[in-house]
Amino acid sequence: MTHPRYTGPVRRGGSLAGLVAAVALAAGCQIALRTVPITLSGVYVANAGADSVTVYRLDASGDVFPTRAISGSNSLLSQPVAVLVDPSGNLLVASAAANRITVYLPGATGDAGPIRTLAGPDTLLAGPSGLALDALGNLYVSNAAASRLTVYAPGASGNARPVRVVEGSQTLLATPRGIAFGPDGLLYVANSASNSILVFDRGAFGNTPPARRIAGSLTQLAEPTGLGFDPFGRLYVANASPSPATGFPAVAAYRPGAQDNEPPERRISGPNTGLSVPRGVALDPVGTLYVANSGADSVTVYTPGAPEDSRPVRVVVGPRTGLRLPWAVAVRP
In order, the DSSP letters of 269-308 are ESTTS--SSEEEEEE-TT--EEEEETTTTEEEEE-TT--T
| Total number of domains constituting the chain | 2
Selection from 57, 62, 75 nearest residue 11 by Cα: 75
**CA 216 – CA 264 distance, rounded (Å):** 11
DSSP 82: E
Say whether both 27 and 52 belong to one domain.
Answer: no
Say whether both 25 and 79 belong to one domain.
Answer: no
The CATH number given to whatever domain includes residue 49 is: 2.130.10.10
Say whether both 24 and 172 belong to one domain.
Answer: no
Those residues whose C-beta lies under 8 Å from the C-beta of residue 28, and which sit 6 or more positions away, are 3, 4
**CA 275 – CA 228 distance, rounded (Å):** 17
What SS3 class is residue 195? Answer: coil
What SS3 class is residue 324? Answer: coil
Say whether both 185 and 224 belong to one domain.
Answer: yes
Say whether both 201 and 95 belong to one domain.
Answer: yes
Phi, psi of 216 (to 5 degrees): 130, 165
Say whether both 207 and 314 belong to one domain.
Answer: yes
State which residues form the domain around 105.
42-332
Say whether both 118 and 163 belong to one domain.
Answer: yes
Those residues whose C-beta lies under 8 Å from the C-beta of residue 269, and which sit 6 or more positions away, are 243, 245, 246, 248, 249, 250, 251, 252, 275, 308, 309
Sheet holding 52-56, edge to edge: 68-71, 52-56, 42-47, 326-332
Say whether both 27 and 108 belong to one domain.
Answer: no
Those residues whose C-beta lies under 8 Å from the C-beta of residue 117, and which sit 6 or more positions away, are 76, 100, 101, 102, 103, 157, 158
Residue 185, judged by CB atoms within 10 A of its CB (0-12, 13-18, 19+), counts as: exposed
Hey, which residues does 269 pair with through a beta bridge? 250
Say whether both 187 and 292 belong to one domain.
Answer: yes
Mean pLDDT per 10-residue interval, the chain, length 333 residues: 32 40 34 50 98 99 98 99 98 99 98 99 99 98 99 98 99 99 98 99 98 98 98 98 97 98 98 99 98 99 97 99 99 97
**E strand or H helix at 74:** none
**CA 291 – CA 109 distance, rounded (Å):** 23
Say whether both 302 and 271 belong to one domain.
Answer: yes
pLDDT of residue 39: 81
Chain centre distance of CA 5: 41
The model's pTM is: 0.89
165 contacts 198 by C-beta, under 8 angstroms:
no
Sign of CA dihedral 37, 114, 190, 159: negative
**CA 329 – CA 227 distance, rounded (Å):** 10
Say whether both 33 and 47 belong to one domain.
Answer: no
Say whether both 256 and 222 belong to one domain.
Answer: yes
Those residues whose C-beta lies under 8 Å from the C-beta of residue 258, and which sit 6 or more positions away, are 214, 235, 265
